[in-house]
Structure 1
Amino acid sequence: MKIISKTIKFLPLFLMALAITSCSDDDDNNGGAVVPVQLNIVDTAIATADLSSLVAALQAADGNLVNVLNGSGPFTVLAPTNLAFETFLSDNGFANLEAVPTDVLSQVLLNHVISADLSSTDLTGLGAGYTRTNATGAGGNTMSIYFNTSNGVRFNDVSSVSTADVSASNGTVHIVDAVIGLPSIVDHAVNNSNFSALAGALTSEDLVTTLQGDGPFTVLAPINDAFSDFTNPDSNALSNILLNHVLVGAITSTDLVGLGNIYTNSLAVGPNDNAISLYSNTDNGVRFNGVSSVAIADVIGTNGIIHAVDTVIDIPSIVTFATADPNFSTLVTALTTLTPDTDFVATLSTVNGTSPAPFTVFAPNNAAFDDLGTPPAADVLTQVLLHHVLGNANVTSTNLVASNGAAPTMLNGQAITISLPGTGDNIADVTDGAGNTDIGIIAVDVQAGNGVIHVLNKVMLPSAD
């Protein structure tokens, strides 16, 4: 017993001697200055009593998370307190950490880890915005997190920094008062006050549940100023306008740029309940239907991606697509400048259900007009253009197939003949009123709110009679 007692008394002295030896070694290398050893993020959490639940969560979720945070970093860790974890478990119906599925707990914890060293001064200097965490969101992209420093430092509008700038050897720890759950695209819309008008509209039109579904969705989210400026000139249903901002799939800005200038479909519906088309142009940024540009790209949630846009994208008319798509620029000139006595724009903007809408427009592209050569006089050109428009019918490609060989009568009173399948690269062959047979439909089903467009490679000519 005496030997053990002496040994216990001696142990602190032995450890102190080791510490002195270590400091002496440092003294030799640093001119006599004592250099304390800085803890890394994991050791800092272990040494902080109010982060014991975080440490337990890291161990319960995935031992590899500890290895990650022991790495060189740099990281910024938003570290929830013990009370924050207690509230998280209670709110989500879990008895303890072990009851949380491992994959869920891992993603929640990764949503508190940013692969950069961000001090509170850095965040305050930025004011508000998005950065990325290490959690995985829609399409395998890293999750977005919204920070706002207008009143302290707050994340996703659910968690505030209570103790900032705890320095570690491989980054910075900010202790926060709530666990930050994994946000859906609806959560992101609600969390950012710049989307408050959108969030209110989604709620009023009962679309929140839809956008909380599995998805994935891509939402073109108008900012508040966009809603303030929107007058809904055609009195379209707000729910349909909102759905015109939703695409199926997780489409990043990189995807959009890579695809170039294309048409896709939104969740809005037009004549015969056909999906409304959306035209994206990437010649200068990313612009939709020629009216709305991306202001903030790639806000990633669990079930989709948000791109903030600067203008509400109304349900498009035939005229919307003609003016937005540069492939129809010569057609637009023909419909306006070259035929000043006929208000084609007003006619082709007629609201669906008001005669002669809906329309089926066979639209010659720029190359088709180039082949035509010098445009005819205005009165003749007017008849040529009317020969490309079928009134009171929204004939999609499916119906073109069903009516193979049909001869619809166009607005100039003459018929065209559509034959399927087309020859060469043509989807369908067309014979015009003048009997020309070298005309092809090369793209189909650009669906507007008041009709549908099919693209031609030649200008159709009416009979001289």
Structure 2
Amino acid sequence: MKSILKLKSLVYLVSIIFISSCSNDDNNGPVTGPADGMPDVEMSDIADLAIATDDLTSLVAALTRAELVDTVKGTGPFTVFAPTNDAFATFLDENGFATLEDVPVDVLEQVLLNHVVAGKNLSSALTTTYISSSSTAGVDGKALSLFVDTSSGVKINGATVSTADVEASNGVVHIVDKVIGLPTIVDHAINNPALSELVGALTADGNTTFTDLLSDAEGKFTVLAPVNDGFAAFMNPNSSDINNVLSNHVIAGAALAAADLSNSYANTAAKNSDDDALSIYINTDDGVKFNGASAVAIADIVATNGIVHAVDQVIDLPTVVTFAVADPNFSTLVEALTTLTPSVDFVSVLSSQGGAGSDPFTVFAPTNDAFSALAAIPDEAGLIPVLQHHVIGGANIRSGDLTPDGTTTTPATLEGDSFTITLPGTDGNIANVVDGANNDGIGIDVVDVQAVNGVIHVLDKVLIPNTSN
């Protein structure tokens, strides 16, 4: 499939070139002059330039087979990256095709379109960045991204421009030494030098688990790709398994563009010790941040099997404290756990993982609105047992562990009291809760926010313990 996708990208490019060359010949004025190896054709469009160039006959044949000639006859302007005959021959050989006729037409069309960009982009105007091709072979029918690398010459998704700035009446042609295949997520990572540390981590010790997974053309992924500086700054403070850390950058089953993101939780491919998928908190209040720290530097890099967002930091495995700090809905809870209760180091306790004795934790986290509903927040002596009544130590209790149609009495909280949870909930609640003081009307709004050292369920009211015992 990967080979077919690459071939499709090539065919599409050829067709675009041909169509553009056949479009209005006097669209953009006379050609300033032929480049080396190109014909001296006054007022030629892109298609005519390709037809008259001996080294682009395979491109013309591909455009013709894909029936894209009429398409590229449009007014444009277009920028076309035109593979040579040798490039096409290599492409066919690498993908197991004897001749151009063996390539499925629909694949060839998309490959060719992947060589065509809207607008007239002379080499002097190209910078190191991502641009969109005309191919809609990206995940969910999106336009594929092309990485332009101008650090040494000009490369487009790894294809080197050998002859630049062949101007035509409806755009410009840059001749390249490779067919630009339809890129998977791994292809994008390999082509961008700023992601070389990520590629190294993914393939360390000959491990191909990630590259095999993220090269799967049938998959659908959102990948948060740390740039090299982010890797350099990551000290792995918790000595976490690096493969699990890398998995924490992959959201499987969905290709989420920046426009699809909102303040919410998603599951990553990383796991806790019970093989539960870890959550990641997405915040879009000011740009896009993941787990409150790693920000998106480049968004919406589209591949055939997903979308990549380059991020500025490695996203470490989250603790329950990570989510409390990252989610602005818990700012009052964080204040209660820190500023209002200085005599107890709640943060250190709830950040612990692996051998701390009390983890994993099941935390029932009240929102800011839940705290606002209190007549008053207790003083430190009264607030400490209230906060402890929201935490169960030594258990990672997920919603699936509760009685599905009935009531579950929890293990004792850190304060000492238990409380009850009833499924299903009422009045829009996922579940109903009766706290240690026998207060009802408490609802669980969000469940199973999974950290590496425990799980969080979100409450709409603060739990009160039994103060008579």
Is this a same-fold pair by TM over 0.5?
yes
Paired residue for 1:195?
A: 195
Is the counterpart of residue 39 in structure 1 residue 40 in structure 2? no
> Which residue identity lines up with residue 171 of structure 1 in the other structure?
G
Q: Does structure 2 retain, via aligned residues, the 8 Å contact 1:222–1:312?
A: yes
Deviation at 1:373, TM superposition (A): 2.8
1:69 corresponds in structure 2 to 72
Structure-2 residue corresponding to 1:309:
311
The residue type equivalent to 2:461 in the other structure is K
Query: Paired residue for 1:413?
Result: 416
User: 1:374 deviation in Å?
Assistant: 2.0
Residue range with higher mean Cα deviation, 172-181 or 394-403: 394-403
Matched position secondary structure for 2:88:
helix
Q: Which residue of 2 aligns with 1:226?
A: 230
Distance 1:161 1:439 in 2: 64
Give the alignment of 1:160-309 within 5 angstroms: 160-204=160-204, 205-206=207-208, 207-213=210-216, 214-248=218-252, 249-256=254-261, 260-309=262-311
Q: Counterpart of 2:251 in 1: which secondary structure?
A: strand
Q: Which residue of 2 aligns with 1:14?
A: none
Distance 2:416 2:382 in 1: 14
Match of 2:135 in 1: 135
Mapped contact 1:250–1:305 kept (Cα < 8 A): yes
> Secondary structure at 2:407's aligned position in 1?
coil
The number of equivalent residue pairs is: 422
Contact 1:408 1:417 in 2 (8 A): no
SS of 1:372's partner is: coil
The structure with the largest alpha-carbon Rg is 1
Corresponding residue number in structure 1 for 2:336: 334
1:72 match: secondary structure: coil
CA displacement at 1:339 relative to structure 2:
0.2
Partner Cα distance (2:274, 2:71) in 1: 54
Q: Provide structure 2 residue ranges, at least 5 long, that are not aligned to the other structure.
A: 1-25, 27-40
The aligned residue for residue 156 of structure 1 is: 157
Task: For 2:332 and 2:114, locate their aligned partners in 1 and report how far apart those are by CA, in whole Å.
Answer: 51
Distance 2:42 2:203 in 1: 53
Q: CA RMSD in A?
A: 1.4
Q: Is the 8 A contact 1:396 1:444 kept in 2?
A: yes
Q: Distance in 2 between matches of 1:405 and 1:112?
A: 60
Note the C-alpha offset of 1:255: 1.0
Partner of 2:34: none
How many angstroms apart in 2 are the aligned matches of 1:167 and 1:210? 41
Q: Distance in 1 between matches of 2:194 and 2:250?
A: 18
Q: Which residue of 389, 401, 404 corresponds with 1:399? A: 401
Write the distance in 2 (CA, Å) between the matches of 1:273 and 1:281: 25
Query: What one-letter code is carried by the residue in structure 2 that aligns with 1:58?
Result: L
2:466 corresponds to 1:463: yes
- Per-residue Cα deviation, 1:284-321 (whole angstroms, up to 9, x for no partner): 00111001100001111111111000011111000000
Q: Using the alignment, how far apart are the partners of 1:276 and 1:300 within structure 2?
A: 25
Query: Aligned residue for 2:433?
Result: 430
Structure with bigger helix share is: 1
Structure 1 residue 353: Cα displacement: 5.3
**8 Å CA contact retained: 1:271, 1:352:** no
Q: For residue 239 of structure 2, give the secondary structure of its aligned residue in structure 1.
A: coil
- Larger relative contact order (C-alpha < 8 A, sep ≥ 6)? 2
- How far does residue 37 in structure 1 lie from its aligned partner after superposition? 5.0
Aligned sequence identity (%): 56
**Residue aligning to 2:386:** 384
2:62 to 44, 54, 57: 57
State the distance in 2 between where 1:106 and 1:320 align.
47
**2-structure distance, mates of 1:365, 1:292:** 23
Measure the CA separation in 1 of the matches of 2:115 and 2:422: 60
